[in-house]
Structure 1
Amino acid sequence: MRSQAAQSRRVALQVLYQIDVEGAYAGIALDRALERSLASPRDRALATELVYGVTRWLKTLDWIVDRFSTRPVTRLSPWVRNILRLGLYQLMFLKSVPGPVAINEACELARSVGHPGVVGFVNGVLRNILRKMNAGAASGDVGGMYAARFPAAALFPDIEFPDIDEDPVEAISVGYSHPGWLVARWIEQLGVERAMEICRLNNEPPPVSLRANLLKTTPLRLVDLLSQEGIQARSSQLAPEGIVLEPGEPPAHSGSPAGLAERGGLAGLRAYREGLFTIQDESSMLVAHVLGPEPGQTVIDACSAPGGKTTHIAEMMGDAGQVLAFDIHPHRLGLLRQNLERLGIKSIRPIELDTRRLGENYRGVADRVLVDAPCSGTGVLRRRPDARWRKRPEDLPAFHALQMEILRSASNCLKREGILVYSTCSMEPEEGEDVVGEFLSESEEGSKFVLLNVYDRLPATFRQAFPDETHNGCGWLRLFPDVHGVDGFFMAAMMLKGRFDN
């Protein structure tokens, strides 16, 4: 048993090194490592927990290590700092692993990558940390008000953490392991309490929701079929074709949908192999409803791969009509084709194209156009643990400019009175309200678009769950994890009333 757990830790360390030094994406690097080195679900689960746990809590872990290490984390070798992160994460968050075991395993990892001095250094730092944690537990001191809000502080009552009243940005950034610039933005936009709650939720395992393939089954039947395979689920309260796995059901962590299915065992289910469901967050399920495709129509999905929303559109159309699915990346279109085969969908045509050129090639052909635009992804950080550390403030104006380019081009594909839906999985105004405002302002000079009321286009399930939803008093809808219990998301719908050059 020990050797199996030790192998899981070695795999986790290798993946963390790749993320830290080589800039690897956590989900991709982990999937490859699990496939190559670990066979049993138990071993894979431990490696996944360690990689995603350390990545989520990176800033908190480093902040604590810096209080016990004679050298700053940034000046340690990548192997050593990631061994310390692994050891500390287990001490703080994995109650199933005794402290001495976590330290001994960290020392074994250090022995495999360094000289005896490295082993002694790792052992000394982690044992001092454990000693401090044990002293705090014995004293009964839980660290005061800060610890009541931030769980890490409760483990170290003698350490002075940043004060939430004096410096809320640093307090939340350290307490819930988020970049300071992002915390500052959310505090400015939403206030301290909501910013803190969103950061807390980003460190919790996200809910797993599935969309029933209405071409083959119904949500209620899917719930029953999954129950027969040992998976408990309930109907979604927001999306009529959605179901949500009960807490504690696999998978506990997620990266990409493909990786989520593999690591959690969903790909092994008969219902998955037979194409009865797609893994998709409830917020994303709402987009196709806002688009409102009808059988026989021509629909363009400008940024389609790997196809979650694209296949939903086709399912809502009864697979009758034509869905032109564009993407600039061939390998992502390959994932879309795999999904089409599994789901049994025939009406979607994948096309490789830079969607900034859409309007030149497909002018006036579509009844509906969806632009689910590339964005910073700040609304889905809980699903992509490493993404928070990749984001930079300068990314936002760059994404804004790209989204405007795609929207301008894709809008030319619409027929008169066609509907254009723009959506992002971002919580930033630059990738939502600001884009819509700028686009509508420009449309007054070339094509007349009017903003539709998104709330009226949402399914009854959502409107019943949120009868007082005000969508910021405008036509668009912004979803938040702390309010709606789903990924952060933005969507707006616009209708083309006419072109001035017609």
Structure 2
Amino acid sequence: MTNQNNSARNLAVDILEKIDEGSFSNIQLNQDIKSSSLIDIDKNLLTEIVYGVLQHRLTLDFYLADYIRKPEMTPRWVINLLRTAVFQMEFLDRVPDFAIFNESIEIAKLRGNDGIRKMVTGVLRSYQRNGKPSFDSIKNPVEKLSTQYSVAPWIVDQMLYELGEEKCISILKSINQPSHLAVRINRWNKTHADIIKDLEYEYTVTTSAIAKDGLRLSRGASISDTRSYIDGDLTVQDESAMLVAETMHLEKGQKVLDACAAPGGKTTQIAAMIGETGEVTGWDIYQKRVQLIQDNAQRMHLDNVKTEVQDAITSREDLDESFDRILVDAPCSGIGLMRRKPEIRYLKSKKDSSDLHQLQLKILDNIAKMLKVGGALTYSTCTILRKENQETIEKFLAIHPEFEQLKVETAKKIKQNRDELSLNIYPDDFESDGFFIANLKKVK
């Protein structure tokens, strides 16, 4: 029998507990995997269980509702243990039920008392005998989609209103698929061909369909342990996020501000594109996050990156008309990241989105004066909600007649037939994160 203290399933319950208490799934999972003694096959199982339970949490709770008599009085770790068991039974065909039962019951015995062990045993046996309920029992269409795809009802309602039923369901299906591992080549260091050749020893490598410097890698060894990563030849970045710097019309020697920069993925991309004669300044409000920008720039051998602890809503008269290009990768609800950071779908509220819209306007209003006449400001978010995207840009332009909007163009010319000047990338478009990009030129 596996030592339950060190098993993938027991560790999954621990991690889900920490996420319930406020930890970020990707950070917590990586930390616990690094400190564990799990072999690779168990690391993969752990990852599948944690992300799977987060992705399907509302669905799993619907499945379990008839089998847990008093969920409000049941310890949270027991709920998470039952979620992990039912997730494996419903979504991991290769795992036999007896293995799920045996280990779940052993974990219940290890972590709890005999009463909890009996309760877990009874729930799992009843579930195996009677099966899951039908979604057809849910009559409200928003609640039904929310439960079926495990996304907060307000997000489903907003997506139906803004995008229509067909697109909404397509997005909901896509965010419950595994995310891709994507990396961006550091053009400052080596050629694309050399880096791809290095990576092919450990991964299956595919060139990104949307990002000029992007690659998709098969899941394998930790990318941060590879020579290419350590030497600064590449960085982990979603393909949609790579598009932002591509659209900024960057040129060698320009002076650029990245106003909301941490952890520095876009900052380092800008630095590589403007060359040694250019300079990019990266801001964040916390020293710890500014250090992340510095660490990334140092690892990638980019010495044209300058950093400051600075709040983007704080006035800086000394910087009026100082920059050729400005990027505002604004604080947002992160709804476009629901595939990669599945807990987001439960943590954010409609009020959060509205409050962030106001913060975004404050940042843009403050930053606008720092751009030179003739310069361009790029606004981006990792959300797909109109309030934080188009509405923010429309309101900014209404009070800043010195700016006009330009059409966003990417190197690989994606979504060329769209009517909008801005660019919306939805999670189902290219199996990447949801993103919004708008370009504004200061004309007077």
User: So what's the TM-score if we normalise by structure 2?
Assistant: 0.95
* SS of equivalent to 1:368: strand
Q: Say yes or no: does 1:480 pair with 2:426.
A: yes
Matched-pair contact (CA < 8 Å) for 1:209–1:244: yes
Q: Say yes or no: does 1:226 pair with 2:199.
A: yes
- Cα distance between partner residues in 2 of 1:36 and 1:484: 34
Q: Which residue of 1 aligns with 2:135?
A: 161
Q: 2:405 aligns with which of 447, 451, 454?
A: 451
- Cα distance between partner residues in 2 of 1:282 and 1:289: 11
* SS of equivalent to 2:3: helix
% same residue: 34
Q: 2:380 aligns with which of 411, 423, 431?
A: 423
Q: Which residue of 1 aligns with 2:394?
A: 437
Evaluate the alpha carbon distance shift between residue 233 and residue 110 of structure 1 in structure 2; reply closer, same or farther with a 3 A threshold.
same
Matched-pair contact (CA < 8 Å) for 2:187–2:272: yes
Once the two structures are TM-superposed, the CA of residue 6 in structure 1 deviates from its matched residue by: 5.6
Number of aligned residue pairs: 444
Q: In the TM superposition, what are the counterparts of 1:159-308 in structure 2 within 5 Å?
A: 159-162=133-136, 166-227=139-200, 229-245=201-217, 249-250=218-219, 265-308=222-265
Matched-pair contact (CA < 8 Å) for 2:4–2:106: no
Q: Which residue of 1 aligns with 2:79?
A: 81
- Cα distance between partner residues in 1 of 2:93 and 2:407: 49
- Cα distance between partner residues in 2 of 1:240 and 1:24: 33
Amino acid at match of 1:64: Y
- Cα distance between partner residues in 2 of 1:359 and 1:475: 30
Q: Say yes or no: does 1:9 pair with 2:9.
A: yes
Q: 2:345 aligns with which of 382, 385, 388?
A: 388
> 7-16 or 121-130, which moves further after superposition?
7-16
- Cα distance between partner residues in 2 of 1:108 and 1:39: 18
* SS of equivalent to 1:458: coil
Q: In the TM superposition, what are the counterparts of 1:94-173 in structure 2 within 5 Å?
A: 94-133=92-131, 156=132, 159-162=133-136, 166-173=139-146
Amino acid at match of 1:91: M
Amino acid at match of 2:105: C
Q: Which string of whole-angstrom CA distances, capped at 9 and with x for unpartnered residues, describes residues 132-177 of structure 1?
A: 34xxxxxxxxxxxxxxxxxxxxxx4xx332368x532122111111
Once the two structures are TM-superposed, the CA of residue 333 in structure 1 deviates from its matched residue by: 1.4
Matched-pair contact (CA < 8 Å) for 1:223–1:234: no
Q: Which residue of 2 aligns with 1:492?
A: 438
Matched-pair contact (CA < 8 Å) for 1:476–1:491: yes
- Cα distance between partner residues in 1 of 2:326 and 2:343: 31
Q: Which residue of 1 aligns with 2:32?
A: 33
Once the two structures are TM-superposed, the CA of residue 374 in structure 1 deviates from its matched residue by: 0.7
* SS of equivalent to 1:295: coil
Matched-pair contact (CA < 8 Å) for 1:162–1:170: no
- Cα distance between partner residues in 2 of 1:439 and 1:31: 39
Q: Say yes or no: does 1:466 pair with 2:439.
A: no
Matched-pair contact (CA < 8 Å) for 2:4–2:107: no
- Cα distance between partner residues in 1 of 2:153 and 2:115: 34
Matched-pair contact (CA < 8 Å) for 1:314–1:320: no
Evaluate the alpha carbon distance shift between residue 367 and residue 61 of structure 1 in structure 2; reply closer, same or farther with a 3 A threshold.
same
User: Greater RCO between the two (CA within 8 Å, min separation 6)?
Assistant: 2
Once the two structures are TM-superposed, the CA of residue 4 in structure 1 deviates from its matched residue by: 7.2
Evaluate the alpha carbon distance shift between residue 203 and residue 319 of structure 1 in structure 2; reply closer, same or farther with a 3 A threshold.
farther
Evaluate the alpha carbon distance shift between residue 163 and residue 70 of structure 1 in structure 2; reply closer, same or farther with a 3 A threshold.
closer
Matched-pair contact (CA < 8 Å) for 2:259–2:329: yes
Matched-pair contact (CA < 8 Å) for 1:286–1:458: yes
* SS of equivalent to 2:313: helix
Matched-pair contact (CA < 8 Å) for 2:253–2:275: no
Matched-pair contact (CA < 8 Å) for 2:179–2:431: no
> 489-498 or 474-483, which moves further after superposition?
474-483
> 280-289 or 428-437, which moves further after superposition?
280-289
Q: Which string of whole-angstrom CA distances, capped at 9 and with x for unpartnered residues, describes residues 451-487 of structure 1?
A: 1111xx321x1x1x5342x1xx232111112234321
Q: Which string of whole-angstrom CA distances, capped at 9 and with x for unpartnered residues, describes residues 16-41 of structure 1?
A: 12222x22222233233223333533
Once the two structures are TM-superposed, the CA of residue 108 in structure 1 deviates from its matched residue by: 1.3
* SS of equivalent to 1:305: coil
* SS of equivalent to 1:299: strand
Once the two structures are TM-superposed, the CA of residue 343 in structure 1 deviates from its matched residue by: 0.6
* SS of equivalent to 2:280: strand
- The runs of at least 4 consecutive aligned structure 1 residues that moved more than 6 Å come to none
- Cα distance between partner residues in 2 of 1:358 and 1:242: 36
Q: Say yes or no: does 1:413 pair with 2:377.
A: no
Q: 2:271 aligns with which of 287, 302, 314?
A: 314
Matched-pair contact (CA < 8 Å) for 2:13–2:84: yes
* SS of equivalent to 1:369: strand
> 489-498 or 315-324, which moves further after superposition?
315-324
Matched-pair contact (CA < 8 Å) for 1:206–1:383: yes
Amino acid at match of 1:12: A
Q: Which string of whole-angstrom CA distances, capped at 9 and with x for unpartnered residues, describes residues 345-364 of structure 1?
A: 00000111111125434111
Unaligned runs of 5+ in 1: 134-155, 252-263
Once the two structures are TM-superposed, the CA of residue 244 in structure 1 deviates from its matched residue by: 1.7
Evaluate the alpha carbon distance shift between residue 423 and residue 205 of structure 1 in structure 2; reply closer, same or farther with a 3 A threshold.
same
Evaluate the alpha carbon distance shift between residue 197 and residue 371 of structure 1 in structure 2; reply closer, same or farther with a 3 A threshold.
same
Q: Which residue of 2 aligns with 1:47?
A: 46
Question: What is the root-mean-square deviation in Å for CA atoms of aligned residues?
Answer: 1.8
Q: Say yes or no: does 1:346 pair with 2:312.
A: no
Evaluate the alpha carbon distance shift between residue 372 and residue 479 of structure 1 in structure 2; reply closer, same or farther with a 3 A threshold.
same
Amino acid at match of 2:232: G
- Cα distance between partner residues in 2 of 1:74 and 1:161: 23
Once the two structures are TM-superposed, the CA of residue 286 in structure 1 deviates from its matched residue by: 1.2
Once the two structures are TM-superposed, the CA of residue 75 in structure 1 deviates from its matched residue by: 3.5
Once the two structures are TM-superposed, the CA of residue 336 in structure 1 deviates from its matched residue by: 1.3
